[in-house]
């Protein structure tokens, strides 16, 4: 089998943020935590058994808030993978953490369990912004958490959200300055989105909160990029900036449309079986997910073969997010000329509009096309 990345979804958090549309359950129950940890290990063993000789490049613990997991369970999962399967010699093992969910001792235990990359969901260092975003910690806790992460891990990321009404440009500058002062080698800056079904979406519909306008969006995006460039950060993806060799290998697997296996409730996979690419999704309901794992063999809530056209579209959805873009040769090796010709005609049109760049080797977004990526893909495939 080709290279594989593994995503492990921890379904619990202490409190649901008003902008979050991920599968997460606000709960603080150590007994249920332990039960789900055992089910995750079972899900992992069953799922890997279906794959033929996978070579595992990355492991990512996401959620939810996986820093609530027991370090011993993290260690069991990591050990099961690394002792039973071929892995990269420098396999990246990442975990997302909420600043309010760990002590210095627990963070060290997480590292000792095998995690070598920590993604800290700071979101902001400003109290008024943390309150607006519904975070469960204050500025002092965020700074303390950042200090602990920087002292224990050499490979780590600070994640921020931007583009909302309580945030000023001075706030943003202060957040980025603090990240740089902590010698953080990777920074993620995500624009706040209003996802259907979230409390923020409802408040938006009621006119109680408002999104930033397009002019502000461009101004903030360019400010972040220019600020971080001064400190040698490269924007290698629309929302992600890294010092050299600190890019997220796991997320690059998504953006490069490589194989990934999702473990846990609601987890998605893209896998090749019998030379066909499959879209798979585990059961989202926690009880159904657990119950289904007792079947032999367990089923997926969704499992279907992706058509060539769907795969091509997904490659553009993911690949255009990368600053390097998409390799033309990889497209020509996977898809027919007749399928590519109609897309390439539209690409030339967008290139002439200065929204895309196309060379003999790569297709990428232009500077003016970066914030129009969704509209560009929609034009290419609709």
Average pLDDT over every residue of 130-145:
97
pTM tops 0.85: yes
Residue 2, pLDDT > 80, answer no
Residue 149, pLDDT > 80, answer yes
Tokens encoding 62: 């996401």
**pLDDT tens for each residue of 223-278:** 999 999 999 999 999 999 999 999 999 999 999 999 999 999 999 999 999 889 99
- The pLDDT of residue 298: 87
Return the SS3 of 194. Answer: coil
- The pLDDT of residue 1: 59
Is the CATH number 3.20.20.60 carried by domain 3-253? no
**pLDDT tens for each residue of 358-377:** 999 999 999 999 999 999 99
Dist. CA 240–CA 311, nearest whole Å? 24
What is the rounded (10 degree) CA torsion for 28, 23, 247, 96? Answer: 0
Dist. CA 298–CA 291, nearest whole Å? 9
- The pLDDT of residue 382: 84
- In this structure, what DSSP letter does residue 361 have? S
Confidence of residue 209 (pLDDT cuts 50, 70, 90): very high
Tokens encoding 15: 């409190």
In the chain, where the domains are located: 3-253, 307-382
Number of Cβ within 10 Å of residue 264's Cβ equals: 26
Average pLDDT over every residue of 73-78:
97
Number of Cβ within 10 Å of residue 326's Cβ equals: 21
Dist. CA 51–CA 1, nearest whole Å? 8
* CATH dotted code for 307-382: 1.10.10.920
Average pLDDT over every residue of 342-363:
95
Quick one: how far is CA 168 from the chain centroid? 26
Q: Name 93's bridge partners.
A: 59
Q: At what angle do helices 104-112 and 139-152 cross, to 10 degrees?
A: 40
- The pLDDT of residue 202: 95
Average pLDDT over every residue of 322-336:
95
Number of Cβ within 10 Å of residue 207's Cβ equals: 7
Confidence of residue 25 (pLDDT cuts 50, 70, 90): very high
């Amino acid at each position: 089998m080709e290279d594989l990345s593994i995503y492990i979804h921890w379904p619990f958090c202490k409190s649901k943020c008003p902008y979050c549309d991920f599968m997460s359950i606000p709960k603080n129950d150590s007994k249920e935590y332990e039960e789900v940890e055992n089910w995750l290990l079972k899900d992992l063993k069953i799922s890997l058994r279906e794959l033929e000789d996978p070579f595992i490049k990355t492991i990512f613990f996401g959620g939810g808030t996986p820093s609530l997991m027991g370090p011993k369970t993290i260690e069991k999962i990591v050990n099961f993978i690394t002792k039973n399967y071929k892995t990269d010699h420098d396999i990246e093992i990442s975990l997302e953490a909420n600043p309010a969910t760990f002590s210095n001792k627990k963070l060290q235990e997480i590292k000792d369990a095998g995690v070598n990359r920590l993604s800290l969901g700071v979101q902001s260092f400003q109290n008024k912004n943390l309150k607006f975003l519904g975070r469960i910690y204050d500025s002092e806790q965020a700074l303390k958490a950042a200090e602990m992460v920087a002292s224990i891990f050499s490979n780590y990321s600070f994640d921020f959200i931007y583009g909302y009404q309580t945030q000023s440009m001075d706030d943003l500058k202060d957040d980025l300055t603090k990240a740089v002062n902590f010698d953080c080698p990777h920074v993620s800056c995500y624009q706040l989105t209003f996802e259907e079904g979230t409390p923020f979406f409802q408040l938006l519909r009621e006119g109680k909160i408002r999104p930033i306008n397009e002019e502000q969006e461009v101004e903030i995006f360019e400010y972040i990029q220019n600020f971080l460039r001064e400190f040698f950060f490269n924007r290698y993806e629309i929302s992600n900036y890294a010092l050299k060799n600190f890019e997220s290998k796991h997320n690059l697997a998504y953006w490069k449309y490589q194989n990934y296996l999702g473990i846990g409730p609601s987890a998605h996979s893209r896998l090749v079986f019998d030379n066909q690419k499959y879209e798979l999704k585990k059961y989202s309901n926690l009880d159904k997910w657990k119950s289904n794992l007792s079947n032999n063999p367990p089923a997926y809530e969704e499992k279907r073969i992706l058509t060539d056209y769907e795969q091509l579209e997904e490659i553009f959805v993911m690949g255009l997010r990368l600053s390097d873009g998409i390799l033309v040769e990889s497209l020509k090796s996977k898809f027919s000329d007749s399928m590519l010709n109609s897309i390439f005609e539209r690409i030339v049109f967008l290139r002439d509009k200065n929204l895309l760049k196309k060379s003999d080797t790569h297709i990428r977004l232009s500077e003016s096309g970066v914030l129009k990526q969704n509209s560009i893909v929609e034009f290419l495939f609709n």
